[in-house]
Amino acid sequence: MRRTLVLVVSVATVLMFAVSPVAAATSQNLSWGVADDYQANFTMDATNPEEDLSLHEGMYIIVTAAPPTIPNVITVWTQVPTVTVDMKWTNGTSIGLYALLFIGLAAFGGRMVVPIGNWTLLTEVVKTTVGWNTSTAFTSNSAYWGMSLTATSSGQRATIGALYLKSTGFLAKYTITVTNATSSAQIFSFSVIQEGLPNDLVVMIQDNILLIGIGVGVVVILGAVVCMKRK
C-alpha cells in the first residue's frame, strides 16, 4: 500500500504545480454551512490493477473548532478562512500519513470546507490560488460546486477532481484517476466520497425542472389538441 500512497501523492503534486494565475472579483453574502463538531462520513477507495493493490476503508472528517469569521469583502482566495478539521478512520484512529493523499486539493484552493451562498464569487476567487490552472473545469449544479483538472505526461493521463456540497460547503467527492493516454486503460484510481450524498437522478431532475415542466406542458397541450380533433 506504500507504493499506492506514493503514486497518489506524486500525481496530485504534478497536477498541483501546473499553474497559471488569473484575477479575481469582490464578494459578499457568504456564510458557513457547518459548525463546530460537524462530522461527515466517507469511504476511501484506491485500486492499482497493475500491482493488484486495493484499499477500501471507512473514515470521517470532523470540524474541531468553530469556523472563523468570514471577511465582509473577499477578493483573493487567501482571505477565505480555513475551517479546522481532523481526519480519522471509522475506528477513531488518526489516518496519519494517509492525510498526504489530500495534497491534490491544493490545486483547488486546499479547503475541506468552503463558505456557501455565493458560488459565482467562489468560482472567481479560487482562480487566485497558486495552484490555479486555466485548464481547470468547473461544476455547478443544484447540489454541488467543484472543479476538475486533467494533465497528460509520459503516456499517462491523470485527472483530479473535487466537489463540495452546496448545502454545507463540505467536501463531497475527491477523486484521482490515472489512465493510459493511448488505450484509456485504467492504471490507478483513488476516491474519497462522502456517504449519504444526493441521488444523481434527483439532482438531474432538479437541474432540469424547467425543461421537464415545459416538456410536460407540451405533451398536455398536444394531447388536448388531438382529443379536440377526434371530437
* φ/ψ (deg, to 5) at 102: -90, 5
In sequence order, the β-bridge partners of residue 177 are 159, 189
The string of DSSP letters for 153-202 reads: ETTEEEEEEEEEETTT-BEEEEEEEEEETTT--EEEEEEEEETTPPPHHH
What digits encode the pLDDT tens for the residues 51-81?
788 899 999 999 999 999 999 999 999 999 9
Per-domain boundaries in the chain: 2-198, 200-231
Sequence letter at residue 51: E
What digits encode the pLDDT tens for the residues 163-222?
999 999 999 999 999 999 999 888 999 999 999 998 755 455 544 554 444 544 444 455
What is residue 164's predicted lDDT score, i.e. its pLDDT?
A: 98
What is residue 3's predicted lDDT score, i.e. its pLDDT?
A: 57
Distance CA 40, CA 58 (A): 11
Distance CA 125, CA 78 (A): 9
Query: pTM for the full model?
Result: 0.77
Question: What pLDDT band is residue 2 in, cutting at 50, 70 and 90?
Answer: low
The answer to whether residue 111 scores a pLDDT higher than 70 is: yes
What is residue 75's predicted lDDT score, i.e. its pLDDT?
A: 93
Lowest mean pLDDT among 24-28, 34-38, 149-153, 193-197: 24-28
The answer to whether residue 230 scores a pLDDT higher than 80 is: no
- What mean pLDDT comes out for the span 104-131? 93
Question: What pLDDT band is residue 229 in, cutting at 50, 70 and 90?
Answer: low
In sequence order, the β-bridge partners of residue 48 are 53
What is residue 217's predicted lDDT score, i.e. its pLDDT?
A: 46
Cα angle 104-109-111, degrees, rounded to a multiple of 5:
85
